[in-house]
């Protein structure tokens, strides 16, 4: 019996943190088709020519969405997630894989958002999970970040 064929989609996202432990949080535009006005971090789909190193996509998306330049070797893998779902249009199964990276900067880079977002804010790392509560996936990433910085403790 053959395993059913399914499409795989890859997403790369970046948490930007500065030396004062502030993080960049984006606000999606009001006409976003998935989460209008929702919180987010820079990132997006991995292109075919980036599949060998999703950090390339993370750097490209960071530049496109926030005008922040980074090199792949500056990114630390923070978390991965995957989930099977059904494409609502085709009813075909899709595996989606998310890569979450951490970019550390001594000083928060100047942010220039794209039209995809309505705004950005720099928030204390410890407050980020609560501020991203509308997007549980990003909230989990911020919780992981807090555990990393707090030595594995939840608070």
Q: Is the dihedral of CA 28, 30, 32, 34 positive or negative?
A: positive
- From first to last of the 155 residues of the chain, give the pLDDT tens digit: 666 688 899 999 999 999 999 999 999 988 888 788 889 999 999 999 999 999 999 999 999 999 999 999 999 999 999 999 998 888 889 999 999 999 999 999 999 998 889 999 999 999 999 999 999 999 999 999 999 999 875 54
Q: Are strands 22-28 and 39-40 parallel, antiparallel or unpaired?
A: antiparallel
pLDDT in the model for residue 4? 62
pLDDT in the model for residue 13? 98
Q: E strands of 68-127, at which residues?
A: 75-86, 93-104, 117-124
Distances (CA, A) of 118 to 36, 44, 85: 10, 16, 28
> What's the rounded Cα separation, in Å, for the pair 110 and 81?
29
């Amino acid at each position: 019996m053959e395993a059913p064929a399914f499409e795989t989609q890859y997403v790369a996202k970046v948490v930007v943190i500065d030396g004062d432990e502030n993080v960049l949080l984006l606000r999606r535009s009001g006409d976003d088709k998935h989460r209008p006005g929702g919180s987010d971090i820079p990132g997006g789909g991995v292109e075919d020519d980036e599949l060998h190193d999703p950090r390339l996509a993370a750097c490209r998306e960071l530049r496109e969405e926030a005008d922040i330049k980074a090199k792949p070797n500056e990114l630390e893998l923070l978390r991965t997630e995957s989930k099977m779902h059904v494409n609502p249009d085709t009813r075909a199964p899709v595996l989606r894989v998310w890569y979450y990276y951490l970019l550390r900067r001594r000083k928060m880079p100047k942010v220039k958002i794209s039209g995809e977002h309505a705004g950005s804010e720099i928030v204390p790392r410890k407050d980020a999970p609560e501020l991203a509560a509308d997007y549980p996936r990003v909230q989990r990433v911020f919780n992981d970040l807090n555990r990393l910085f707090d030595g594995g403790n939840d608070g």
